[in-house]
Amino acid sequence: MTREHGIALLILAALVLAIPSIVTDSYVMTLMIFSGINAIAAIGLCILMGSAGQVSLGQAGFYGIGAYASSVLSQSFGLPVPACMAGAAIVSALAAVILAVPSLRLKGHYLAVATLGFGEIVYIVLNEFGPGGPSGFGDIPPLSFAGVAITEPAHVAWTVWGFLLLVLVFSLNLLNARPGRALRALHGSETACSAMGLDIVRLKIKVFVLSAVYASIAGSLYAHYVTFISPSSFSFFHSVLLLMMVVLGGITTVWGGVIGAVIITLLPETLKSFEELDVLAYGLILTLSLLFLRRGIVPIVIDKFRTSERGHA
Amino acid sequence: MLDIRNITKVFGGLRALDDVSFSVPAQSVSALIGPNGAGKTTMMNIISGMFPPDEGSVSFNQDVISGLAPAAIARRGLSRTFQHLELFGEMTVLENVLVGRYIKSRSGFVASGLRLPSVRAEEKENRERSLDILASIGLAEKREERAANLPLGEQRILEIGRALATEPTLLLLDEPAAGLNIRETRDLGEMIVRLNADRGITILLVEHDMDLVMRISTAITVLNFGQKIASGKPSDIQRNPDVIAAYLGDEEPPC
């Protein structure tokens, strides 16, 4: 991890500590919690797209598995929530392996198509066979740690963003070590990677599993926070939303996922004042940013900052 | 060390390589030369496993490697550079070399994410070795530059550095002097000789610069229209009438 990342992490940690202590408004807390949950899933997609160059259109599927598996494990078997989240992550990882092994052996965007189908299958299965069917189920045990329930909005915000910080540290460590360098190299030249002896298919499968695990953790956090879930939260629309977060924020750095997630989560709320026109404004903003901010917000800002820094030196 | 036996490769109706055999002795600096379109790069791609031959076989240290994936061949100690550069442009010079260290290290996803002590130790060692390589090829001061920002000559050198990081016993250089000026070409020649002498790496190079080839290579194979027309020491090749005819169509020597 470089010094810049370390500083950025410290600033983020300070903000995470400060905001819930200063702002007591429960609506702001809710937005902060949802941004954090989305960011965890977005970071995984960011690494998948920015390194392996693969697109997933089914992250909501893993998000859904994370939510349902963790809920069922805690509600029906009474297991502690952290253990249920880990269990759900394992289920998601297995699903990701089963999905990735055949589709990543083929060259091209077969994974995108496979994930699209996967997301739909999870959605249909949750509707047909999930507890409560299309209307979902409630009374999911809240987040807890060592038997102490975490229900206070500020505490939930700290927990979610604490997870986010851990995910960020893990991801940055990974990206700046052997496997992460290999992943970034994959984005540069697959031909050179194979000449360097890298097993490209294996790397792609692993990074896909990683993205699935992150989405699963996000889904579990969501379920134990809202304590009531239904399949509609895990539809194709949510996969597209995650994709938008990553594209808007920028795929070349994990910070793109965080910033993109915060913006996409807050945008519909700030546009509410437009009343019926909010969907229109939402679409317009996204279209314009895809046209004019193609590389994503974070990489553009970093470049601007570096050039001005050089100008002063 | 490397044995090429009866290799034939056909693209559509074109016989890019037609029953070509030659071998690269251990510790040699061998060269593969020939006019444009002679099939040199095709041969490089077949040796490194980028595509399979239609007929014939490639053996490396007595094992048949034709048919293996490029990555599997690289792991056996055969590394290469590319005529059309294939650097990781967005990564730094040092990171490019560190990717070359991949097959010589083992840290996985989970250990790296958690930055376990074993990972730290391995990273430190990889970093030291990579910096050594950069120092030996004269790029140490540019280690934090983005690879895409280097001038062409240094990009070619960096490709060699990255290949060295895999600790190869045989290094394939595909037109390493293309686009270099006279001074850069001379430095490159000295570097290749040094790699061969100091590190004991066997070299097979494809090159158009006859001056460089004649100066540094110990054995030369000449291709023309996919067929081998000569092989031998530089002095023999320079006098070979078939080679002269292939290059110039008259009796002037090729350099």
Could you give the CA distance from residue A67 to residue A224 in angstroms, rounded to a whole number? 8
Q: Per mean pLDDT, which range of A5-14, B143-152, B231-240, B242-251 is the poorest?
A: B242-251
Q: Place B245 in a pLDDT band, splitting at 50, 70 and 90.
A: confident
DSSP code, position A137: B
What is the model's pLDDT at position B35?
87
For residue A106, give both structure tokens.
């083929």
The shortest C-alpha distance from B72 to chain A (Å) reads 6
Write out the H or E segment, with its range, that includes residue A174: helix A153-175
> Per-residue confidence at A311, pLDDT binned at 50, 70, 90?
low
CB count, 10 Å around CB of B148?
13
In a domain, A247, yes or no: no
Q: Where does residue A138 rank: exposed (0-12), middle (13-18), buried (19+ CB within 10 A)?
A: middle
- Is the pLDDT score of A273 beyond 90? no
Q: What is the pLDDT of residues B29-88, one digit of tens each?
A: 999 998 888 889 999 999 999 989 999 999 999 999 998 999 999 999 999 999 899 999
Q: Does A184 touch chain B (CB under 8 A)?
A: yes
Chain B CB contacts of A89 under 8 Å are none
Nearest to A173 among B80, B115, B122 (CB): B115
- pLDDT of residue A225 exceeding 90, the answer is yes
Q: Hey, are the CB atoms on B108 and A179 less than 8 Å from each other?
A: yes
CATH fold, domain B1-77+168-255, is Rossmann fold (3.40.50)
Q: What is the pLDDT of residue A64?
A: 97
Q: What is the pLDDT of residue A123?
A: 96
Element (DSSP H or E) covering residue A149: strand A148-149
Is the CB of A303 inside 8 Å of chain B's CB atoms?
A: no
More confident position, B96 or B209: B96
Q: Which residue of chain A comes nearest to B78, CA vs CA? A: A195
pLDDT at A276 over 90: no
For residue A173, give the chain B residue with the closest CA.
B113
Measured in angstroms, the CA of A179 and the nearest CA of chain B are apart by: 6
DSSP assignments along A19-78, one per residue: HHHH---HHHHHHHHHHHHHHHHHHHHHHIIIII----S-HHHHHHHHHHHHHHHHHHH-
Inter-chain residue contact A194 with B74, CB threshold 8 Å: yes
State how far the Cα of A239 lies from the Cα of A123, in Å rounded to an integer.
Answer: 11
Q: CB of A97 within 8 Å of any CB in chain B?
A: no
Mean per-residue pLDDT, A102-113: 81
Strands B29-33 vs B170-174: parallel, antiparallel or unpaired: unpaired
Give the separation between CA B38 and CA B236, rounded to whole angstroms: 20
Give yes or no for A47 touching B (CB within 8 A). no
Kindly state the tokens that stand for A69.
């598996």
Q: How far apart are CA A286 and CA A274, in angstroms?
A: 16
Q: Which of A59-68, A96-105, A137-146, A266-275 bottoms out in mean pLDDT, i.e. has the lowest?
A: A266-275
Q: In the predicted model, what is the mean pLDDT of residues B152-164? A: 94
Q: Say which residue, A50 or A39, is predicted with more confidence.
A: A39
What number is the average pLDDT over the span A191-205?
93
Flag whether residue A170 sits within 8 Å of chain B, measured between CB atoms. Answer: yes
Given a cut of 80, whether residue B166 has pLDDT beyond it is: yes
Task: Decide if A253 is inside a domain.
Answer: no
CA distance B248 to chain A (A): 35
Look at chain A and report how many structural domains it folds into.
1
The per-residue pLDDT for B253 is: 53
- Tell which of A4, A178, A307 to mutate to test the B interface (max B CBs under 10 Å): A178
- The answer as to whether A298 is a domain residue is no
Pairwise CB contact (< 8 Å): A181 & B91: yes
Q: Which of B102, B112, B119 is nearest residue A197 as measured by Cβ atoms? A: B102
Instruction: Share the mean pLDDT of chain B.
Output: 91
3-state DSSP: chain A helix, strand, coil percent, rounded to 5? 80, 0, 15
At residue B91, the pLDDT reads 92
The predicted model gives B131-151 an average pLDDT of: 93
Helix A178-188 × helix A153-175 angle, to 10°:
70
CB–CB contact A181 B98 (8 Å): yes
Domain annotation covers residue A246: no
* Boundaries of domain holding A86: 3-235
pLDDT in tens, A228-237: 999 999 999 8
The percent of residues above 70 in pLDDT, for chain B, comes to 97
| CB atoms B95 and A196 under 8 Å | no
B-chain residues near A193 (CB < 8 A): 71, 99
Chain B positions in Cβ-Cβ contact with residue A181 (cut-off 8 Å): 91, 95, 98-99, 102
The arithmetic mean of pLDDT across residues B217-227, rounded, is 92
Asked if residue A185 is part of any domain, the answer here is yes
* Chain B contact set for A179 (CB, 8 A): 107-109, 112
Give residue A85's pLDDT: 96
Res. A312: pLDDT tops 60: no
Q: What is the mean pLDDT of residues A186-210?
A: 92
Whose structure tokens read 């910080």? Answer: A165
Gap from A292 CA to chain B (nearest CA, Å): 22
CB contact, 8 Å: A206 with chain B?
Answer: yes
State the Cα–Cα distance between residues B99 and B118, nearest whole angstrom: 18
B86, B109, B126: residue with CB nearest A189: B86
Would you list the domain boundaries of chain B?
1-77+168-255, 89-167
Q: Which of B90, B115, B166 sits opposite A196 (nearest CB)?
A: B166
Which pLDDT score, from 0 to 100, does residue A34 have? 96
Q: Is the pLDDT of residue A313 over 50?
A: no
Q: Which of B94, B99, B133, B155 is the best residue to mutate to test the A interface, defined by the most A CB atoms within 10 Å of its own CB?
A: B99
- Whether A185 and chain B come into contact, CB under 8 Å, resolves to yes
| Closest approach of A2 to chain B, Cα-based (Å) | 12
- In percent, how much of chain B has pLDDT > 90? 76
